[in-house]
Amino acid sequence: MARLGKDDLRGDRRPRAAKQPRRRRPQQRLAFAVLWGFLAAAGALAYFALTLPSTDQLTASLRRPSVTILADDGSLIATFGDLFGEPLRLREMPRYLPQAVIATEDRRFYHHFGIDLLGMARAALADLRAAHIVQGGSTITQQLAKNLFLTPDRTIGRKIRETMLALWLEHKFTKDQILELYLNRAYLGAGTYGVDAAAHRYFNKSARNLTLFEAAVIAGLLKAPSRFSPVNDRARAADRADQVLQNMVEAGYISEAQARAAERQKSQLAEADRAPPGSRYFADWVAGQIGSFADINGHDVVVTTTLDPKMQAYAEHAVARTLAADGTADHVTQGALVAMSPDGAIRAMVGGSDYNDSQFNRATQALRQPGSSFKPFVYLTALEHGIKPSDHFNDAPIRIGDWEPHNYENKYRGDVTVADAVAYSINTVAAQVIERVGANNVIATARRLGITTPLPHDDSLALGTGSVSLMELTAAYAAFASGGVAAWPHAVLEIHDAHGGAVLYRRAGSGAPRVIDAGIAGEMNQLLEGVIERGTGRAAALDRPDAGKTGTTQDFRDALFVGYTANLVCGVWFGNDDNSPMKRVVGGTLPARTWHSFMVAATRDLPVRELPGPSAFVALGNLFGRGAPPAPAQQPRPSSSPGLLQSLIHAIFGSR
């Protein structure tokens, strides 16, 4: 029997064709895509829902306490922190205030559920036509959600959270409550939050009393608070208010006649208080000190200061005019000025050429060499050690150890008096004087008058090789103007609570001690009067008794003039932040001329008074042997120094 093979056992079968994969129908693919899309969207929504910020503290006011700084006349200098007004109910506001906001920001506010789909479509179409973003589709509810809970970052995640929070707000609150929250929390420029704070800031009144035009101004701020602020640009703010009024007409809230009548109120914008542009240097300096006077944690405070707005304007103008006229030619980019009364009350401060460009305060923070403007402390020490203004020294090349001080332009006068040496800023005599009285004694004198910065313990100190701030140098000169009483620079007169009015701090006298004997202070005044009468500071001369000293450092890197009358002390500095040399600018040129320009304006309405003079006995002792008179070619101005008779009268009856 024949054997059967495997093929015979399986039977006669044809080879099978390869198995073809099953094709899914289009409906199935779509269903899968929808399912996965739904799951992804649900997951994303779940993620954003889980990462929403807490809404528990909805009504809490988490903000920095506000600090409002005022000048001595009550005018505004600057504000810091967050300014919130009184929370107002809608019924307390004039009806056209919320109407102006709705007409401009969200005309369908009462007709959508927190998200305005029509508004979003309209904004998207406008953006497509313009090829960039020109309209926003956010509702008032969405803006409130962003203001309360989110950051202003432009991200998809933030927009999704904003939308979810807007829906929550619409579910939680009524439309009026949402609008009320928005009006009390929205940022409206100049550090203000809420319509009441803005009304006080821009119109000095409560939001309860706003006119239609004022309400339009405030509503117009919501789009761009800084751009449309009446403090920054009143014309632009007025134009924006006109646009808001037209929006109100289109929305049916007011008539054309009412809009035209409101537009005629534009003059009210003149009431918006504007801070002097350069006074921010002063404001920053004051703000840094407030905590040392009173505990302001949790308090909105108002700080009244010693700044005189008119003097501040004169100071800014004087420095700016000098830099504009001579800055490029003389390679000078920065200037500073500080003015104070003889008791140290700051009346004006310029910390640099442009606060917006640099907030570094060159009047208080910069430490620069004073040059010869430090010499008064050397000569004050000399007078206290028995050296007299009439004593003679030899102005000639000298060597003190390894140090060889030179005069400006290497010119020497031979036999001179101390009075001449001060007037003409002779370096060789100042070096001989400090060698005689000792650098340590000069440092002690400077410390007594208020110089706190480290000073070199060697004879080069006589030429101002230490570094000081313009503020402390000027304050030290104030002791001469006061007749010997120390001046402590200060600016804060009073701090009170912005809401309750409670006084948290009030200045009650300086308590400054006498640091110079009255007679010696009078001698110093006579010496420094000579600088202006016949010496290096002639460009600073006023038509009233004045005194001061020039200062120039090596390679013309710094130039200063510090001077005073009986009413006002002022220091001026010019130089460059990178310490690069100027083009032969000395203290007797740009600084002295700027000082003169400022002081003429600043003292115009102040009484003319003599500077404190020496006692009668000191005057008698110095009457003979005084310095040589000016050269015949010079025509000295009428002397402001008291003569013998004047000195005797002063000693008996006091200064005039």
pLDDT level of residue 392 (50, 70, 90 thresholds): very high
412: left (phi over 0), alpha (psi -120 to 50) or beta: beta
Q: What percentage of the chain's residues is helix, strand, coil (to nearest 5)?
A: 45, 10, 45
Fold exhibited by the domain 315-629+638-653: Beta-lactamase (3.40.710)
- Model pLDDT for residues 361-389, shown as the tens digit of each residue: 999 999 999 999 999 999 999 999 999 99
pLDDT level of residue 27 (50, 70, 90 thresholds): low
Calculate what percentage of the chain has a pLDDT beyond 90: 57
Residues tagged active-site: 105, 372
Structure tokens at 435: 């060698």
Structure tokens at 342: 């003889």
Structure tokens at 302: 């108002």
Structure tokens at 54: 């807490």
Minimum mean pLDDT among 11-20, 473-482, 548-557: which range? 11-20
pLDDT level of residue 23 (50, 70, 90 thresholds): low
8 Cβ partners below 8 Å, 6+ apart? Answer: none
- Model pLDDT for residues 328-355, shown as the tens digit of each residue: 999 999 999 999 999 999 999 999 999 9
> What pLDDT was estimated at residue 165?
74
For residue 218, give the nearest of 98, 384, 55 by alpha carbon.
98
C-alpha–C-alpha distance, residues 173 and 516, integer Å: 71
The CATH homologous superfamily of the domain defined by 83-270: Biosynthetic peptidoglycan transglycosylase-like (1.10.3810.10)
What are the boundaries of each domain within the chain?
83-270, 315-629+638-653
Minimum mean pLDDT among 79-83, 87-91, 256-260: which range? 79-83
Alpha helices (runs of H) in 52-185, residue ranges in sequence order = 96-105, 117-130, 140-149, 156-172, 175-185
C-alpha–C-alpha distance, residues 526 and 642, integer Å: 8
Burial category of 630 from C-beta neighbours within 10 Å (exposed 0-12, middle 13-18, buried 19 and up):
middle
Quick one: DSSP state of residue 566?
Answer: S
> What pLDDT was estimated at residue 234?
85
Helix (H, G, I), strand (E, B) or coil at 79: strand
How many CA atoms lie within 13 Å of 129's alpha carbon, on the beta-carbon side? 8
Q: What is the mean pLDDT of residues 405-422?
A: 94
C-alpha–C-alpha distance, residues 413 and 166, integer Å: 85
Top-confidence residue, 341 or 173 = 341
Longest Cα separation, the chain: 166
Residue 503 has pLDDT above 70, yes or no: yes
Residue 639 has pLDDT above 60, yes or no: no
- When the pLDDT of each residue in the chain is averaged and rounded to a whole number, the result is 83
Residue 28 has pLDDT above 90, yes or no: no
Minimum mean pLDDT among 42-56, 108-122, 168-182, 546-560: which range? 42-56
C-alpha–C-alpha distance, residues 203 and 231, integer Å: 11
Instruction: Return the sign of the alpha-carbon dihedral for residues 355, 360, 365, 367.
Output: negative
Residue 47 has pLDDT above 50, yes or no: no
Q: What is the mean pLDDT of residues 453-462?
A: 95
- Model pLDDT for residues 122-149, shown as the tens digit of each residue: 655 655 665 555 455 688 887 777 777 6
**pTM, 2 dp:** 0.72
Structure tokens at 574: 């010019």
Q: Are 376 and 569 in contact (CB under 8 A)?
A: no
Helix (H, G, I), strand (E, B) or coil at 321: helix
Q: Are 303 and 492 in contact (CB under 8 A)?
A: yes
C-alpha–C-alpha distance, residues 28 and 32, integer Å: 6
Top-confidence residue, 130 or 210 = 210
C-alpha–C-alpha distance, residues 331 and 313, integer Å: 25
